[in-house]
Chains A and B, each alone.
Chain A
């Protein structure tokens, strides 16, 4: 493996022909990620391979751990070691990561996990696409918590959203997931990588106060606590138990209420700032097609055909899937005849759309059991029926 020509910050500036998995790795490196712990799993392995090739030249660590349980545990440890960190996985590995995803939420450690989704359940379809982990992303670990999940639809967006994911996770001290899929992960397209100086990177909110007075969970004015790293003389403590500001276990219902409310509200309260949507011809639309990831690219054909047939169809692409843009759906619901929600699962995000529409309008699911993408004709059929 020859050293790639990068700028001094390790950013691979220029136009490249990359697949989504490689673009994720490049995005993470551009965002300053210098620690990667992972375990091989199709169809996400290329990201780990790319990291292992690239990282010796930019000054970081790649370690292939013994399993996904260890991978995410190492990430959380590395966050307290002061690094920006990432791992990548797929279905079965994502299930194993659920344990410590909860720990990352509880300890409020910023980290990025990309899930290149494949068909499930269990080993399912390792080499074929799916979007069946969307609910697991939000509800997979036990207990109440909020995460952020983004869903790219192209290699270029894999690069862009990798940076965005790091920025969001640093801003809100929360694990951020990139819920992509095998199609996008293995799709080769042109990826334009800007110069390092033009990339907006959010740096960690370091504690700069006096030595020994650091409180890991004391909220700052913006509601997000400061982070520090090991070895600074603060002699701090952190735990997965319900804890007070000092990070000491404080096991009672009152403290539980404070902690859980904080974990949830720091995301829900900032949902407007976090959520990114891409909308097209949504004004005066009768039917709005809500989709994300690879499905949104398939839906384009169906929407085009529907418009050619004279139907007023708008599209909404969820770039941010979690927190779910319920406010926007609620706003649109009284004005449209129906929402059509195609996705590569038996109906997951459609339930969120249904919930957010509050019975004000019809919500049509276009399910697919994964393995391959929708036939646009199926989506078109659903649009036509919904428009009646």
Chain B
């Protein structure tokens, strides 16, 4: 086929994107678009009815994902994607709810919601794009910024400790925890697919390059340089102890699927407990709404 003729054909991802909003706002070399592709890939591979899949995002660069994905999608306030998704899930239990947001949104301002949703084992798939800083507002220090890294509000280097997100999620009770980098295209996709096909609070951290801010301030070069760093320094260790997953500045990145365990979800626990305690009088929740 001649190259010119090929423009007639559509990128297969287009069915899952709001093409009237593309090109997106992300910078050249930003990895969020890649994670979205992996997500779309996972959606195509699952047997889920895509009309019954919803995406909730908070605020920030990754917060814009909800606006580009052509599913029922919700762009909410800063940090509140998880409680918003909790309400959505509980009011409509037949919907698969995916929270797609950034590190600052989910574990900075929304950190409390994050640990409580994990504790309750709320049936959500949480995809956290971690670029180590608050990018939308100009590269400020975040709860995930590695020590000594430079940020616009840590101009002499960061001296605070950072969250290790898989450890946090594991400790709070998440039932599926994985970490990848944006370069692990197929593995990100595979993890998301696994999470979509299971019940419970599933957490997937994806480390992505922030070229314009994090990389520039820390003189780390372009997106390609960061991908090369991921390639050189990431080590796949499935089932690794989540206590050993700390990320240091440009240090080793331990990735893999760390946790997969079974635990009753909030709704299942509510139904089984109240059925047990109240007997036949209990109105089994979810029955009347899953039409």
A/B contact in complex, CB under 8 angstroms: yes
Structural contact, B67 and A249, CB atoms closer than 8 A: yes
**Stretch with Cβ within 8 A of A (4 or more), from B33-41, B78-86, B210-218:** B78-86
- Asked if A56 is at the interface of the complex by the 8 Å CB criterion, the answer is yes
Q: Which of B71, B72, B94, B270 has the most CB of A within 10 A?
A: B72
Q: Which of A56, A66, A69, A78 contacts B274, CB < 8 Å?
A: A56
Interface residues of B, count at CB 8 A? 47
- Asked if A367 is at the interface of the complex by the 8 Å CB criterion, the answer is no
B53: nearest residue on chain A (CB-CB)? A231
- A232–B71 alpha-carbon span in the complex (Å): 10
How would you classify the secondary structure of chain A's contact residues: helix, strand, loop or mixed? mixed
**Contact residues on A (Cβ < 8 Å of other chain), bracket:** 35 or more
- Asked if A234 is at the interface of the complex by the 8 Å CB criterion, the answer is yes
- A81–B285 alpha-carbon span in the complex (Å): 14
Q: Which of A70-112 contact B (CB under 8 A)?
A: 70-71, 73-83, 85, 99-100, 102-103
- A77–B95 alpha-carbon span in the complex (Å): 12
- A157–B57 alpha-carbon span in the complex (Å): 39
Q: A70-B80, A235-B71, A238-B75 are in contact. Are A56 and B92 (CB under 8 A)?
A: no
- Asked if B56 is at the interface of the complex by the 8 Å CB criterion, the answer is yes
A233 neighbours in B (Cβ, 8 Å)? 51
- Asked if B113 is at the interface of the complex by the 8 Å CB criterion, the answer is yes
Q: A61-B90, A61-B91 are in contact. Are A56 and B67 (CB under 8 A)?
A: no
Q: Which of B94, B266, B283 contacts A56, CB < 8 Å?
A: B283
- Asked if B282 is at the interface of the complex by the 8 Å CB criterion, the answer is yes
B66 neighbours in A (Cβ, 8 Å)? 237, 239
- Asked if A323 is at the interface of the complex by the 8 Å CB criterion, the answer is no
- A59–B73 alpha-carbon span in the complex (Å): 27
- A230–B112 alpha-carbon span in the complex (Å): 26
Structural contact, B80 and A60, CB atoms closer than 8 A: no
Q: Which of B18, B116, B282, B288 contacts A66, CB < 8 Å?
A: B116
A69 neighbours in B (Cβ, 8 Å)? 79-80, 83, 113
A237: nearest residue on chain B (CB-CB)? B73
A106: nearest residue on chain B (CB-CB)? B77
- Asked if B12 is at the interface of the complex by the 8 Å CB criterion, the answer is no
Q: A56-B274, A59-B283, A238-B74 are in contact. Are A76 and B54 (CB under 8 A)?
A: no
Structural contact, A65 and B83, CB atoms closer than 8 A: yes
B7 neighbours in A (Cβ, 8 Å)? none
CB distance from A218 to the nearest CB of B (A): 16
B68: nearest residue on chain A (CB-CB)? A237
Structural contact, B113 and A78, CB atoms closer than 8 A: no
CB distance from A262 to the nearest CB of B (A): 19
Structural contact, A74 and B285, CB atoms closer than 8 A: no
Structural contact, A57 and B278, CB atoms closer than 8 A: yes
- Asked if B222 is at the interface of the complex by the 8 Å CB criterion, the answer is no
Q: How many A-B residue pairs have CB under 8 A?
A: 161
Structural contact, A35 and B80, CB atoms closer than 8 A: no
- A102–B80 alpha-carbon span in the complex (Å): 13
- A72–B126 alpha-carbon span in the complex (Å): 20
Q: Which of A37, A69, A77, A236 has the most CB of B within 10 A?
A: A77
Q: Which of B18, B74, B75, B283 contacts A77, CB < 8 Å?
A: B74
- Asked if B261 is at the interface of the complex by the 8 Å CB criterion, the answer is no
- Asked if B87 is at the interface of the complex by the 8 Å CB criterion, the answer is yes
- A234–B266 alpha-carbon span in the complex (Å): 28
- Asked if A377 is at the interface of the complex by the 8 Å CB criterion, the answer is no
CB distance from A138 to the nearest CB of B (A): 20
- A15–B266 alpha-carbon span in the complex (Å): 36
B279: nearest residue on chain A (CB-CB)? A3
- Asked if A63 is at the interface of the complex by the 8 Å CB criterion, the answer is yes
Q: Which of B73, B87, B116 has the most CB of A within 10 A?
A: B87
Q: A35-B87, A59-B288, A230-B95 are in contact. Are A103 and B71 (CB under 8 A)?
A: no
Structural contact, B70 and A57, CB atoms closer than 8 A: no
- Asked if A219 is at the interface of the complex by the 8 Å CB criterion, the answer is no
B278 neighbours in A (Cβ, 8 Å)? 3, 56-57
In the assembled complex, 26 residue pairs joining A and B whose CB atoms fall closer than 8 Å, in A order, are A37-B83, A56-B283, A58-B283, A59-B288, A66-B83, A70-B80, A70-B112, A74-B84, A74-B87, A76-B76, A77-B76, A77-B89, A77-B91, A80-B91, A81-B87, A85-B91, A230-B52, A230-B88, A230-B92, A231-B92, A231-B94, A234-B72, A235-B71, A235-B72, A236-B72, A240-B77
Q: Which 6 residue pairs spanning A and B have beta carbons closest together?
A: A81-B91, A77-B87, A74-B87, A59-B283, A70-B83, A81-B92
For the A-B complex with A73-B76, A77-B76 known, give 15 more contacts whose Cβ atoms are closer than 8 Å: A37-B86, A57-B278, A69-B113, A70-B80, A70-B113, A73-B113, A74-B86, A74-B87, A77-B91, A78-B88, A81-B90, A100-B80, A103-B77, A231-B52, A240-B76
Please report A residues at the B interface, Cβ cutoff 8 Å. 3, 35, 37, 56-61, 63, 65-67, 69-71, 73-83, 85, 99-100, 102-103, 229-241, 248-249
